[in-house]
């Protein structure tokens, strides 16, 4: 085994079955889980984010699950720094990172790109435009100025859309152009596991998972945070649609349909992103023994 520690990275679209596979790997190698989901970090949102249950967390230590509140500021660069500190402080030969947040995983594996510091006048102008024109208008502009980043950015996240446009307007270059820097040196080796299923099977799992969330109390969960619905942490698939239902703008059936449709669309975007990474070895989640053997064989190299 290399003198560097090894980071096992489990990726895949939402609803694919990452939690079950991740827990199996954690049990096999007796290691905690470093969670890479930008919404599961919020304590108030366990149901709508399909966070690991309290029982699962009691069995296996999880970092970044319910660790923050919905009004806390937390970014990919902060996540990168904290994960690197975990790896540095624990001095273990093996770590496990799993989740569906593409920016978080990219930050840990490749490092955050050095971006220009945005001038105050540019920031104020873009925030005013967001308020006056709305997020959809800015998304359309980003599609024109930087279609490559538009294709992968979370278009429901105003902070990310606005920041990309700030870069475009201040530098007259695309946001993407600043994301093509050389991969940064990492203090670990990686074994990347990708999970995939036939599309229809994945879609069925997503549709059923949304129904399960409703049964488990997602509407009450949304009611509990309703007064904070303006926060960026709640401007995400699931909660947006439930808030529309609570506001009387749609029926529950329509809200559920929208959540399922938006989640399937997000899953497609995730797969587009992950498939670009040639270091990922792909498996069907049902082939757990094959996954464990692949990890073990690579650890022995």
Q: Do 26 and 167 fall within a single domain? A: no
DSSP per-residue string spanning 2-53? -SS-EEEEEE--TTS-HHHHHHHHHHHHT--EEE--TTTTBTT-TTTTTPPP
pLDDT for residue 181: 57
Give, for all 301 residues of the chain, the pLDDT tens digit.
458 899 999 999 999 999 999 999 999 999 999 999 999 999 999 999 999 999 999 999 999 999 999 999 888 889 999 999 999 999 899 999 999 999 899 999 998 777 777 888 888 899 899 989 999 999 999 999 999 889 888 888 888 899 899 999 989 989 888 776 567 889 999 999 999 999 999 999 999 999 999 999 999 999 999 999 988 889 889 999 999 999 999 999 999 999 999 999 999 999 999 999 999 999 999 999 999 999 999 986 5
Domain boundary among 157, 179, 201: 179
Only one residue has tokens 């920041």, namely 163
| SS3 (DSSP) at 219 | helix
Q: Is residue 281 part of a domain?
A: yes
Domain boundary among 179, 204, 230: 179
Q: Do 38 and 98 fall within a single domain? A: yes
DSSP state of 232: G
DSSP per-residue string spanning 144-194? HH-HHHHHHS-TT-HHHHHHHHHHHHHHSS-TGGGG-SPPPP-SSEEEEEE
Q: Do 92 and 129 fall within a single domain? A: no
- Could you report the per-residue pLDDT of 4-24, keeping only the tens digit for each? 899 999 999 999 999 999 999
Q: Do 141 and 197 fall within a single domain? A: no
- Domain with 173, as residue range(s), is 120-179
Q: Tell me the two tokens of residue 97.
A: 């990172």
Q: What contacts 239, CB < 8 A, 6 or more positions away? A: 45, 48, 222, 225, 229
CATH of residue 127:
1.10.20.140
CATH of residue 255:
3.40.50.300
Domain boundary among 179, 201, 219: 179
Closest CA to 176 of 188, 167, 184: 167
Q: Do 226 and 288 fall within a single domain? A: yes
pTM beyond cutoff 0.85: no
Q: Do 264 and 276 fall within a single domain? A: yes
Q: Do 14 and 149 fall within a single domain? A: no
Q: Is residue 1 part of a domain?
A: no
**CB half-sphere exposure, 207, CA atoms < 13 A:** 9
Q: Do 172 and 247 fall within a single domain? A: no
Count of the separate structural domains present in the chain = 2
């Amino acid at each position: 085994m290399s003198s560097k520690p090894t980071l096992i990275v489990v990726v895949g679209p939402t609803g694919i079955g990452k939690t079950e596979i991740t827990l199996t790997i954690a049990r096999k190698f007796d290691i905690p889980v470093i969670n890479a989901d930008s919404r599961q970090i919020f304590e108030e949102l366990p149901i709508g984010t399909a966070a690991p249950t309290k029982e699962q967390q009691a069995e296996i230590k999880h970092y970044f699950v319910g660790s923050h509140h919905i009004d806390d500021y937390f970014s990919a660069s902060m996540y990168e720094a904290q994960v690197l500190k975990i790896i540095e402080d624990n001095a273990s030969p093996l770590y496990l990172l799993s989740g569906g947040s593409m920016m978080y995983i990219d930050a840990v594996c490749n490092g955050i790109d050095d971006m220009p510091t945005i001038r105050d006048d540019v920031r104020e102008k873009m925030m005013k435009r967001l308020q006056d024109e709305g997020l959809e208008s800015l998304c359309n502009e980003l599609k024109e100025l930087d279609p490559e980043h538009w294709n992968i950015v979370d278009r429901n996240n105003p902070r990310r859309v606005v920041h990309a446009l700030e870069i475009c307007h201040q530098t007259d270059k695309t946001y993407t152009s600043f994301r093509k820097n050389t991969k940064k040196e990492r203090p670990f080796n990686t074994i990347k596991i990708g999970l995939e299923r036939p599309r229809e099977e994945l879609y069925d799992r997503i549709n059923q998972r949304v129904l399960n969330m409703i049964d488990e109390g997602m509407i009450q969960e949304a009611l509990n945070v309703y007064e904070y619905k303006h926060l960026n942490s709640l401007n995400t698939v699931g909660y947006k649609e439930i808030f529309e239902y609570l506001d009387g703008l749609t029926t529950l059936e329509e809200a559920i349909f929208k959540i399922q449709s938006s989640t399937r669309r997000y899953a497609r975007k995730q797969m587009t992103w992950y498939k670009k990474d040639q270091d990922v070895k792909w498996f069907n989640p049902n082939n757990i023994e094959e996954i464990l053997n692949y990890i073990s064989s690579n650890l022995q190299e």
